[in-house]
Chain A
Amino acid sequence: MSLLHIVILLPFLVALLIPLTSRWTKKIHTGWLVLPVPIVLFIYFLTYIPKTMAGVSKETWAWIPSFQINFTVVVDGLSLLFALLITGIGALVTFYSIFYLEKNKERLNNFYAFLMIFMTAMLGVVLSDNLIVLYLFWELTSISSFLLIGYWYHRERSRYGARKSMMVTVFGGLMMLGGFIILHIMTDSFSIRAIIANGAAIVENQLFVPAMILILLGAFTKSAQVPFHIWLPDAMEAPTPVSAYLHSATMVKAGIYIVARFTPLFAVSGVWFWTVSLVGAATLLWGSVNATKKTDLKAILAYSTISQLGLIMTLLGVGAASLHFDNLNDTIYVAAIFAAVFHLFNHATFKGSLFMVVGIIDHETGTRDIRRLGGLMRIMPITATIAFIGTFAMAGLPPFNGFLSKEMFFESMIDVSHLNLFHAETWGVLLPVVAWISGVFTFVYSMMIFFKTFSGKLKPYLLPKKPHEAPIGLLLPPIILAAFVVLIGIMPNMINKSLLVPAVKSILPKLANDFSIHVSMWHGITPALLMTIGVIIVGLLLYKTHKYWKSWIVTHITQKLQLEKAYDYSIFYLEQGSYRTTMWIMTGWLRTYLNYILGAFIILTMGTMIAASAFNFDLVTLTSVSAVDFVLAAVILVTLIGIVFSKSRVTSIILLGTLGYTISIFFVIARAPDLALTQLVIETISVVLYLLAFYHLPQFSNIEEKPKLLSAKTLISIGVGITMTLLTLVAYDTSFYESISEYYIANAYKEAAGKNIVNVILVDFRGFDTLFETAVLAIASIGIFAMVKLRLTKREDKDENK
C-alpha cells in the first residue's frame, strides 16, 4: 500500500466520516468540510506532472494474489490528465455546490457522501492497471451516479432517470466484464500493460473480436454513444453540480478513457477503426441535430455533451489508423489522437462552465426554459460573459480553445478520407461531410443557448423569481473554467508538453520520445479553415430561420427514430412478458406442477434411455412364472381398476386394503417372511386409519370429471407407467456384478449372532437406518398430535381472506 492508494481511497474514507460530522454540520455547510479533499488531491496529482513526462509510476497492493487480482495503480500521461480533470473540476464543483444547495433544505450529508464515493470510483477507474479492479471502480461510478441522479428521490422523473441510467450503464458494465474475462483467457493476465505488451500474440486469436466488441459496448454505454445515449438526457434530473461534474466532465468520459486505453491493443483491427469512428460520427450528428429542437437549457447541454463525446470518439477511431505506420512521428493520423485528447480537455472546461451557468440561471430566475428566458445580459453581465466564452468555444469560434480542437478535428477528418486502409478511400469521404453538418448544428444550438437566454427582451412576467446577478461563490468556479478556455485559446501550447503529449504517448506507446506538436491559432488558409467559415455562414442562416425548420426536424427525423420510446416499450414489454409468462406457468394449481414434474420425468428418462440405446433386455435370466403369480397379478389388476374408477370412497379403501394384502402374499412368494408380516400389520392399521378419516371426510364430491382417454392426466399416467415398466426391465440385469449380500449371509451368525439375516441387517449391519426410521415414526406421531391439538391460526377475521 502506497500513498497513491491512500489518495485514491481518501474521498471514500471521507464519505464514511461524513455522518460523524453532523454535530458541526448543524452550523456549517458540509461542503466546506469536504472541499479540502479534492483540492489536496489536485495538488498531489500536479506533482506527478514531471514524473509522467519522464515515464510511468507504478504501485502494487496485493489484494487477491492467488487470482492475480491486485490493486495496481499506474500513473501515465492519460491517467494523469483524467485524474487532474476529476480532482480539479471536482474541487470547483464542490465549491459551486456549497452556494448552490441550501444548507437547511437539502440532505447535504448524503449529497457529499455520494459525491466523494464517486470521486474515489472515478480515480480508481483511470488509475487502475488491473482489469478486475478497474471493473470494480467502474460499477462504483454507476452506483454513485445512480444515487446522485436520484438525489431528489421524491420526484418521479428523478427516479426514472436514475433507473434508466443504471440499466444502461450496468448492462454495458457487465458486457465489459465479459470482455475483460475473455482478455484474461487469451493472455492469462489481468494487467492492462502486460496484455498490451503481449498484444501482437492475441490478434490472431478467434476471441479477439468478441472481446473487442464487449469492451466497446461497455465504453459506448458509459459515454452515451448512439444508441445508448438515451440515459444522459434523463440524467439531467440530477442537481446541476452533479450534471456539471458527472454528466459532462468526468463519468461520461470513462468510456472515452477505456477506448483510448485499449487503442494500442485493439486498434490494429479494421473492425475497431470502423466501429469506433462510425459510432462516434453517428453520435456526433444525432446529438447535434437533437440539441437544436430542445427548449430546456440542460437538455440542450445534454445532447451537446452526447455530440461532443461522439466527436472525441470519432477522433480516437480515426487515430487508430496511425498504428499501421511504422514511423509514427511523420504520420498525420497521430494528430487525430492529439486532437481527441485536446478536445477532451477543452470540452471539460467549457462544458463544465456552461452547466454551472445554467445552474446560475435556474437558481436566479427559477426556470431553464429558453422560451421564457431572454434579455438577461444587462441583469447578469458576469454570467453572460462566461456563457459567451463557453458557447463560442463550443461552437468552435476563435479565439477560444474549442476553435483549435475543432480545426484539428476537421483536418483529421479530411486526412482520413485520403486514407488508403480498411477501404477508407471509398467510405471515408462520409466522415468530413458528417463532421461539417454537425459542426453547423453545433453552431446553431450554441448560439441558441447564448442569444435566446441573454439577448432580446426581458420577460419578467414569465419568470418565477425576480432575476439578479448571482453571488460570487456561484460565479467563481465557472470563471476559473472560462479563464482556461480563453488562456488555452490564446496560448494553445501551454499544456502541450506537460499534459497532452504524455497522454498521447500513453495512447500510442510506439511514439518516439522526442515527439512534439505545435498548435497555432493561425496556420494559413487550410481546408479546415474554409470549412469553419462555411459552418459560420450556414449556421447563421439556419439560426435565423430556426423556427421554420425546427418542426420539420421534429416531425421528419426525431419522431421517426424514437430511441427513448423504444427503450420504454422494451422495458414495458419485458415486464409484461415476464408477468404473463409467470402467470401462465405458475397457475397455483398443484396439478399443473405435478404435470410439469411428471412430464419432465417421462421425457428425460425416456430420452436418456433412447439416447443410450438401453433397451437390451436380458431375457435369459428371467425366473419362471407359476399359476399363483398370474392369479395374484390378476387380483392386483382388478383392484387397481376398481380404485381408479370407483365413485365411492369405501370401495376405494377396501380395494386398497385388498391390494396391500395381495402384495403381502407376493412377499411370501418372494420368500420374504418379515416383509409379509410387516405388510400385513401395517396394511391393517392403514385401513383402520383410512376408515377413521373416512368417518370425518365427505363423500367423493362431484368434483371428479369423467375419465377421458385423451386428457393430460390420462396421458401422463400412462406415460409414467410405461416409463417405469421399461425402467424396471432395463434395470433388471444381474450380470454386472455380484451382490454384496454374500457377506451378510456368511457373517450374520458369525459376527452378529443372529440367524434371521434381514433382522441382523436391520439392527446390526445397518442399524443407523433403523434408528432414523424410528425417528421418522416419532416425528410423524408428534406431528399428528400437534396438528390435532394446536389451533393457533383460528382467528376471528378468518373469513376476510376468503
Chain B
Amino acid sequence: MELLMSVLIGLMFAASVYLILSKSLLRIIIGTAILSHGVNLLVLTVGGLKRGNVPILGLKGVTGYNDPLPQALILTAIVISFGVTAFFLVLAYRAYQELDSESISKTRGHEADDE
C-alpha cells in the first residue's frame, strides 16, 4: 500500500508542479490545490496506513487504534489550505479585473519592461 501511495504522491507532485509552472493564473491555483492534496497524503502515508482501527474510543470490541496525530495535523492543514486557496482565487479575480488578462506574463513588473 505504501509503495502505491508514494507513487501516487509523486504523480500528484509532478502534476501540481507542471500546473504551477504554466502561465494561466487559474491553472496555477489548481496546481496549488493538488499540491496540498499531495502533502496531506504524504503525511498520512508516513504516519502509517491501516495499522489499526478508527481512533474513536468506546466502540465495541475494538482495541488497537490508528495513529490519531497525523489525522489532527492534516485536519489543520486542510482548513489552512482552504483559506489560502479562497484568498488566491479572489486575488486572481481581482488581478484579472485590473489587468484584463489572466496570463502571468502581464503581472511582470513595469520597471523591467523599460529595457
Contacts and interface: CB of A to CB of B under 8 A. Distances in A.
Interface of A: 583, 588-591, 594-595, 598, 619, 622-625, 629-630, 633, 636-637, 640, 643-644, 649, 652-653, 656, 659-660, 663, 666-667, 669-675, 678-679, 682, 685-686, 689-690, 692-694, 696-698, 700-701, 703-704, 713-714, 716-718, 720-726, 728-729, 731-732, 734, 739-741, 744-745, 748-749, 755-758, 761-762, 766, 769-770, 773, 776-777, 779-781, 783-784, 787-788, 801-802
A692 B89 CA distance: 9
Given A595-B21, A703-B103, A731-B46, A717 B15 contact: yes
B46 A732 contact: yes
B96 A755 contact: no
Contacts of A756: 55-57
Contact of A678 (B51, B58, B75): B75
B76 A762 contact: yes
Interface string B1-29: 11111111111111101111111111100
Given A623-B49, A625-B1, A749-B57, A757 B42 contact: no
A88 to B, nearest CB: 55
Contacts of B22: 704, 713
Interface residues of B, number: 87
A690 B32 CA distance: 13
B60 interface: no
B19 A728 contact: no
24 contacts: A591-B21, A594-B20, A595-B21, A624-B50, A643-B19, A652-B27, A671-B55, A673-B56, A678-B79, A690-B26, A694-B26, A697-B93, A698-B96, A701-B24, A701-B102, A713-B22, A717-B18, A721-B15, A724-B9, A749-B58, A762-B72, A769-B72, A773-B76, A773-B80
A758 B1 contact: no
Contacts of A724: 6, 9-10, 13, 38, 42
Contact of B83 (A659, A675, A740, A777): A777
Contacts of A640: 11-12, 15, 34
A666 B90 contact: no
B109 interface: yes
B67 A739 contact: yes
B55 A758 contact: yes
Chain A, interface SS category: helix
Nearest to B91: A787
Contacts of B66: 670-672
A666 B4 CA distance: 12
B56 A755 contact: yes
Given A623-B49, A703-B103, A696 B78 contact: no
Contact of B17 (A590, A672, A717, A781): A717
Contact of B55 (A716, A757, A780, A781): A757
A703 B24 contact: yes
- Residue among B67, B71, B115 with the most chain A CB within 10 A? B71
Nearest to A656: B30
A583 B112 CA distance: 9
A633 B67 contact: no
A623 to B, nearest CB: 4
A693 B72 contact: no
Contact of B18 (A701, A713, A770): A713
Nearest to B15: A640
B57 A757 contact: yes
Nearest to A625: B1
- Residue among A594, A744, A780 with the most chain B CB within 10 A? A780
Contacts of B1: 622-625, 629
A597 B57 CA distance: 45
B41 A663 contact: yes
B83 to A, nearest CB: 4
B18 to A, nearest CB: 4
Nearest to B105: A703
A115 B6 CA distance: 72
A714 B71 contact: no
A675 B15 contact: no
B102 A633 contact: no
Given A703-B23, A714-B18, A721 B13 contact: yes
Contacts of A739: 47-48, 67, 69
A761 B80 contact: no
A704 B23 contact: yes
B70 to A, nearest CB: 8
Given A659-B37, A729-B6, A731-B46, A682 B78 contact: yes
Contact of B12 (A636, A757, A770): A636
Contact of A672 (B37, B46, B71, B83): B71
A671 B52 contact: yes
Contacts of A686: 33, 82, 85-86
Contact of B82 (A649, A682, A729): A682
Given A717-B17, A725-B10, A788-B94, A693 B26 contact: yes
A299 to B, nearest CB: 41
A387 B15 CA distance: 84
Contacts of B13: 717, 720-721, 724
Nearest to B3: A622
B14 A717 contact: yes
Given A623-B2, A703-B23, A717-B15, A659 B80 contact: no
B93 A696 contact: yes
- Residue among A716, A724, A748 with the most chain B CB within 10 A? A724
B96 A697 contact: yes
Nearest to B39: A724
Nearest to A755: B57
A686 B89 CA distance: 10
A690 B29 CA distance: 10
Contacts of A696: 93, 96-97
Contacts of B56: 673, 755-757
A708 B46 CA distance: 33
Contact of B89 (A663, A693, A777, A801): A693
Nearest to A587: B112
A597 B51 CA distance: 36
A732 B11 CA distance: 17
A671 B15 contact: no
A777 B77 CA distance: 12
Contacts of A633: 4, 8
Nearest to A777: B83
B65 to A, nearest CB: 5
Contacts of B78: 675, 678-679, 682
Contact of A758 (B72, B83, B92): B72
Given A724-B10, A777-B79, A784-B87, A713 B21 contact: yes
Contacts of B108: 588-589
Given A671-B52, A690-B89, A787 B94 contact: yes
Contacts of A649: 26
A508 B21 CA distance: 70
A732 B45 contact: yes
Contacts of B97: 696
